[in-house]
Chain A
Amino acid sequence: MFSKYKKKETIMTLILIAPSVIGLLIFYIIPFIWMIIYSLFDSPINGEFVGMQNYINLLSNHAYKQAVINTAIFTMISVPLIIIISLLLSMLLDKKIHFSQNIKTAFIVPLVVPVASVIIFFELFFNKEGFLNNILYFFHIPSIDWMNSSYAMMAVITIYIWKNMGYNIILFFAGLQGIPKEYYEAASIDGAGPIAKFFHITLVYLMPTTFFVIIISIINSFKVFREVYLIAGDYPHQSIYMLQHYMNNAFRKLDYHKLVTSAILMTLVIYIFVFILFKIQKKINESIGN
């Protein structure tokens, strides 16, 4: 009787999970394994085994190196920046401030607005004759061709922060609400100042949230490609030529080896990164627990 029930349960579990797993296998996992094999041969049919040669070719490619460096610079500047700004804003909004709910909503709206419908604004804003230069002119600062100079990275970072800040504010806000107010009161009694409270209470208890914010910020930083692509097309100024441009263009030129090898390398980097992040998080959670 019991084992019959158990068997039925196993079948039902399979029925529930099968559609998702089969979809994942067909569209992601199986082709990904195929990709790894493909990357080790010089041609897909009757190819010769070339080992790491495709990877070596990729790593010595000038455009690829440029794209990796740009993507790394963008991520390393924009992710810490957005985290600091959104943490600061969430802490301000967490205090008793008039209209704090409405202000929060205003920060979330850009998240909802489709990229393609605001790209027109950003084009006009960062144009050589655009709004930003107009404002700068007012302060006697000479015009800058934002999208077609090394300043382009600043423009992209601005758009990224504008678009994604709401996401992080929601996460931090939820994290802040989860910290018991008694901790602060107790610290006040012990004579702790606002700075000590920030470092010893807020920051410590926000750690789990912060880890997730880092992950989300990086995922979203990959998505900024949409904006850059819609403003600047396939070949933007070289300072904002990202890995996604490189892969898109490799796809268009049917250069599958470069595309496949760079996709695998990027997956590897993401994997290592997530792994380390989870490890650190676990360590910190344990130390808070003690």
Chain B
Amino acid sequence: MSRIKAKIMTILLIALALMMLFPMILTVTNSFMGSQEIENNYSRNDEELDQNTFFSMKLIPDSVTLRQYYDILIAKHKFLRMFWNSVFIVLPIVAGQVVISSMAAFVFAKLKFKGKDVLFFIYIIIMMMPFQVTLVPNYITLDKLGLIDKYSAIIFPGVFGAFGVFLMRQFMIAIPNECIEAARVDGCSLLQIFFKIALPLSKGGIASLAILSFIDNWNMVEQPLIFLKDTNKYPLSIYLSKINHTELGIAFAASIIYMLPMLLMFLYGENYLVEGISRSIINDEGVDTSEYI
């Protein structure tokens, strides 16, 4: 009896899992349709009085074609340029964030100094703020530094985000203190301990942070809209949201190319992603917030 129950449960869960994947499945299959077919499926017939006409939700194309991919990858240069814009924005953020966060995280996890807890609490608050709140302070600084409309206007605030420090600290706190003490006794300097012990032992953390930061920044929408004025510098995310309305015939393939790097990374790094997220739980006694009000 309970085996039947387990079977039903499994089937229900698989159905739910397929529903979760459905948006991607539909996008993939629609990316192999010709523009004409997409037009037919999703034409908006505003003038018709008949209330009961709907878009046809088709998963299998009438005729499979790579036309959409040809259009965006070869015929239109704009798409590829925007793709590289995204890459040029995201890679420096990820690299910078990994370096700066690991350095600071090592201090927060393994060294003692006055005001450490207060400082770390500030990091947590900044980490929680929605973009629209940090937008103002960011804008003030970027404007003063004359960086508006430059890629660095997006890269710098990203690099100095608080989340990286928070996550790396969670990983570095797990390094046994004995390791560090032993190295000290052997006469290692702090920098040597950082490079030869802390960094190698938190490789998993670095991978997690890189993946999470990549996902977050590849997704970015608000920052370029506000900090960049030249639309030629826009990353793919913004371009995509525009062609959804104007050129539906190529939007599906464009979406696929856009999500592909993320899916590939997920395929190879799922374990790092899962570990990174699980580690981010604040459950150690390290931060005592009760004193800071």
Contact = CB atoms under 8 A, between A and B. Distances in A.
A193 interface: no
A117 B125 contact: no
Contacts of A118: 23-24, 27, 255, 259
A282 B10 contact: no
Contacts of B26: 121
Contacts of A106: 17-18, 20-21
Interface string A1-19: 0000000110011011101
B160 A20 contact: yes
B236 interface: yes
Contacts of A9: 190
A215 B128 CA distance: 8
Interface in B19-59: 20-21, 23-24, 26-27, 42, 44-45, 51-55, 57
Contact of B132 (A27, A32, A243, A282): A243
Interface residues of B, number: 102
B240 A117 contact: yes
A134 interface: yes
Given A16-B104, A106-B21, A170-B277, A116 B219 contact: yes
Given A20-B100, A274-B128, A124 B42 contact: yes
B174 interface: no
Given A116-B240, A212-B281, A225-B130, A12 B100 contact: no
B113 A226 contact: no
Interface in B262-293: 262-263, 265-266, 270, 273-274, 277-278, 280-283, 287-290, 292-293
B100 A19 contact: yes
B244 A123 contact: yes
A192 interface: no
A118 to B, nearest CB: 5
Mostly, the B contact residues are: helix
A63 B224 CA distance: 25
Interface string B157-174: 101101001000000000
Interface string B226-245: 10000000001110110010
B293 A226 contact: no
Contacts of B141: 26-27, 30-31
B80 interface: no
20 contacts: A16-B104, A23-B160, A24-B122, A89-B16, A92-B9, A99-B10, A106-B20, A109-B24, A110-B20, A112-B266, A113-B23, A115-B221, A116-B258, A120-B244, A130-B54, A130-B55, A142-B51, A222-B131, A248-B132, A260-B136
Nearest 8 pairs of A and B residues by beta carbon: A23-B160, A31-B137, A222-B130, A106-B17, A20-B104, A117-B255, A174-B278, A134-B54
